[in-house]
Amino acid sequence: MVNVLLRAGAGGAEFREGMATRLLPALDAFAPELILISAGFDAHRGDPLADLNLVEDDFAWVTAEIAAIAQRRCQGRLVSTLEGGYDPTALASCVAAHVGTLMEV
């Protein structure tokens, strides 16, 4: 298990730095045979339950990074399931960004 701690109010820069320096290298080094994504979007800046300020591009970026590891390590085997997001408008746009990115790889 790898945690990336973000302060309340953190945005895309902090999120991407944490992912790029901790989570993504650990995932790559683990060399999985299958990657499962629990795709939650409650870190979006419009979500009423989280204190983070991510936007759709942040979710698309991390999706692309994870998909690249899936291509390199497990022949592209990747499964994504929707977990959360509590602002319907933000959720819809985040899901569209996530699925759109998956369709491009």
Q: What does the pLDDT read at residue 50?
A: 85
| Residue range 11-25: mean pLDDT, rounded | 98
Q: What does the pLDDT read at residue 17?
A: 98
Q: What does the pLDDT read at residue 37?
A: 98
High-pLDDT (> 90) share of the chain, %: 97
- 0.75 cut: is pTM over it? yes
CA distance 90 to 56: 8
Q: How confident is the model at residue 105 (pLDDT cuts 50, 70, 90)?
A: confident
**Contact yes or no for 57/44 (Cβ under 8 A):** no
Q: What does the pLDDT read at residue 58?
A: 98
| Residue range 16-33: mean pLDDT, rounded | 98
Angle, vertex CA 16, rays to CA 71 and CA 52, nearest 5 = 125
- Straight-line distance from the first to the last Cα atom of the chain, in angstroms, rounded to the nearest whole number: 26
The model's pLDDT over 32-82, given as tens digits with 9 standing for 90+, comes to: 999 999 999 999 999 999 899 999 999 999 999 999 999 999 999 999 999
- At which residue do the structure tokens 């419009």 appear? 46
- Domain boundary assignment for the chain: 12-104
Long-range contact list for 44-48, CB < 8 A, 24+ apart?
A: 44/85, 44/87, 44/90, 44/91, 44/94, 45/11, 45/90, 46/87, 46/89, 46/90, 47/85, 47/86, 47/87, 47/90, 47/91, 48/86, 48/87
